[in-house]
């Protein structure tokens, strides 16, 4: 597709460079987007601006037909509808910004429909499959206890992989049974942690204390034994798939599978849906007002009563 290649569009143009800088600040300060979402929005916008340059269309004079042409081009080169919807979301955001800045008077994206993405339900692991994956960890390796703790944390706390990699020692309140999670848009939430996860963390801490952390990395929970640095998301993706294969799990597995399994098992166990949404940090309820209406003690009790890792521990002897 022509506009996916480098074009004659001059991104160094003074006016456009200034406008994009203001848009970047708008996304950071007004929208409070995460670093990954911000990067995706800006990259998708650059693709659209490259397309406009090829078509010789001023970004302030874009019509609905231009947008349809752009989206059709994406479909022609095989872009998945889900990715197309994400790209469109970024373009809509840019034109809302232009309206706010009074660069344009009419938003051309208002009547543009999003592509139908269909409903995709991620695979869910059973408790037995999760135990099998944990059991596949080789504890003779320096990272063995770390990897067991990571699997348990993703499942017991429903963490995103980015939240896991950025977890700090100063975010752990194990005596109180909570961890503090820094989620999307820098939104913080308190998440109850199971006794099983605490046990696996403590096992990892014996090995972690022997690691010489690089300067500035001392507070991270999960470090590479060899490099003394925090783990990358790609690293976690890689060995999660490797462990699943070793355990004989044939489902499509990623770190997010454990988060989805966490929510599904809670829901099946009868946990309150609002409590589950708050635990996951979903944007639809991740506001200060809503969090203040969900009592922390009740939220913790929901998890202790309904999560498979806690049911046996809390059942009467």
Residue among 146, 184, 189, 300 flagged as catalytic: 184
Please indicate whether residue 47 is annotated as part of the active site.
no
Residue among 11, 282, 293, 298 flagged as catalytic: 282
Please indicate whether residue 313 is annotated as part of the active site.
no
Per-state percent for the chain, helix, strand, coil, to nearest 5 = 60, 5, 35
Residue among 145, 146, 160, 189 flagged as catalytic: 160
Residue among 195, 214, 274, 291 flagged as catalytic: 291
Neighbours of 207 (CB within 10 A): 18
Please indicate whether residue 184 is annotated as part of the active site.
yes
DSSP string, the chain: -GGGS--S--TT-HHHHHHHHHHHHIIIIIS---HHHHHHHHHHHHHHHHHHHHHT--GGG--HHHHHHHHHHHHHTT--HHHHHHHHHHHHHHHHHHHHTTS-SS-TTTTPPPPP----PPP---HHHHHHHHHTS-TTSTTHHHHHHHHHHHHHH---HHHHHT-BGGGEETTTTEEEEE-GGG-EEEEE--HHHHHHHHHHHHHHTTS-PPTT-TTBSSB-TTT-SBPPHHHHHHHHHHHHHHTT--S---HHHHHHHHHHHHHHTT--HHHHHHHHT-TTT-SHHHHHTS-HHHHHHHHHHHSHHHHHHHS--
264 by DSSP, 3-state: which? Answer: helix
Please indicate whether residue 256 is annotated as part of the active site.
yes
Report the DSSP pairing between strands 172-173 and 178-182: antiparallel
How far apart CA 123 and CA 276 sit, in angstroms, is 18
Residue among 189, 259, 265, 306 flagged as catalytic: 259
How far apart CA 164 and CA 233 sit, in angstroms, is 9
Catalytic (active-site) positions: 160, 184, 256, 259, 282, 291
């Amino acid at each position: 597709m022509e506009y996916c290649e480098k074009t004659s569009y001059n991104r160094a143009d003074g006016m456009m460079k200034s406008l994009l800088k203001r848009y970047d600040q708008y996304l950071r300060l007004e929208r409070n987007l995460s670093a990954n979402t911000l990067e995706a929005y800006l990259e998708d916008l650059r693709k659209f601006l490259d397309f406009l340059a090829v078509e010789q269309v001023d970004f302030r004079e874009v019509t609905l037909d231009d947008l349809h042409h752009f989206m059709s081009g994406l479909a022609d080169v095989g872009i998945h509808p889900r990715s197309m919807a994400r790209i469109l979301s970024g373009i809509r955001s840019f034109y809302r910004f232009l309206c706010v800045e009074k660069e344009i008077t009419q938003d051309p994206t208002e009547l543009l429909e999003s592509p139908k993405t269909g409903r995709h339900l991620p695979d869910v692991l059973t408790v037995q499959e999760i135990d099998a994956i944990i059991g596949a960890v080789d504890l003779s390796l320096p990272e063995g206890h770390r990897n067991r703790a990571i699997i348990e944390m993703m499942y017991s706390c429903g963490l995103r992989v980015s939240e896991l990699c950025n977890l700090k020692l100063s975010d752990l309140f194990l005596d109180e049974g909570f961890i503090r999670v820094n989620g999307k848009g820098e939104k913080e939430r308190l998440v109850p942690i199971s006794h099983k996860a605490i046990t696996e963390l403590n096992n990892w801490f014996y090995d972690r204390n022997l690691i010489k952390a690089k300067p500035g990395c001392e507070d991270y929970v999960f470090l590479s034994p060899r490099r003394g640095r925090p783990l990358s998301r790609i690293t976690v993706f890689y060995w999660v798939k490797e462990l699943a294969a070793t355990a004989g799990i044939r489902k499509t597995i990623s770190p997010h599978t454990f988060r989805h399994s966490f929510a599904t098992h809670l829901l099946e166990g009868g946990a309150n849906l609002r409590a589950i949404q708050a635990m996951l940090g979903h944007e639809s309820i991740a506001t200060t007002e809503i969090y203040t209406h969900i009592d922390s003690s009740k939220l913790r009790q929901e998890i202790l009563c309904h999560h498979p890792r806690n049911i046996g521990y809390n059942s009467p002897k």
